Amino acid sequence: MAETEIVSTSNINEIIGFLTAMITPALLISATGSLVLSTSTRLGRVVDRVRQLEDRLSTLIYSEDKTAIPLYDKRVEVVVELLDKVTSRSRILQRAMGAFYYGLMFFILTSVSIAIVGLLNIYLWLPIPLGVVGIMFLFYGSILMLRETRMAAATVNTEMDFTWELARRVAPKEIASKYTKIDTGKFKTKSGVSDSAPIE
């Protein structure tokens, strides 16, 4: 009776260990799926942004009275620069999404290999390299996403710098003179204009 209980407990422990091993890749699969979804959403937004910039560039190029457009040459230069940055972002996002899909595939293979090892008791080493390869793809995709995020910030800064320059050119002097650009890329009012105004 005692031996039966020991065998039964041992079998239960093996089953629990097997299920735990199966669950671990499933968590990584879920996390990778979330990354694929967010990357796909960002890629869709970037594609829409490329189309908007293309429309803006076409409007500028085919405009009849270019002299009536403030900072025409600068506008064209900024739009072309933004197109270059956004196109690079789209390619990076495509590579990142590919890396996440490869990672997803290897995590699924890891889960399947654990099942094979548990049922047939062969190739006991197989799940480890499969899981490591999946993690490496996940790491590579994360590096690409970090690079794309930095490029996105650079794109926003480029557009905001041009918008600020345009505002300084077309806004009335009494309004534009209240603001000054500082080295950090932020904009603030000049001291003694609005920052010093008492709060009531």
Q: What one-character DSSP code corresponds to residue 187? A: E
pLDDT band at 170; cut points 50, 70, 90 = confident
Report the number of distinct structural domains present in the chain: 1
Please indicate, yes or no, if residue 142 is contained in any of the structural domains.
yes
Structural domain that includes position 54: 32-171+178-186
Residue 46 inside a domain? The answer is yes
Residue 1 lies in a domain: no
In this prediction, residue 145 has a pLDDT band, given cuts at 50, 70 and 90, of very high
Domain assignment of residue 111, yes or no: yes
Q: Count CA atoms within 13 Å of residue 159 on its CB side.
A: 14
Distance CA 57, CA 93 (A): 24
Instruction: Quick: pLDDT tens for 35-62.
Output: 999 999 999 999 999 899 888 888 888 8
Whether residue 199 is contained in a domain is answered as no
Would you tell me the crossing angle of helices 72-120 and 127-170 to the nearest 10 degrees? 160
Distance of alpha carbon 100 from alpha carbon 11, whole angstroms: 36
Q: Is residue 164 part of a domain?
A: yes
User: Is residue 193 assigned to a domain?
Assistant: no
73 found inside a domain: yes
Q: What is the enclosing helix (H) or strand (E) of 185?
A: none
Cα 58 to Cα 76: distance, rounded to the nearest angstrom = 10
6 has a pLDDT exceeding 50: no
User: 20-47 in b/e burial notation, b at 16+ Cβ within 10 A?
Assistant: ebbeebeebbeebeebbeebeebbeebe
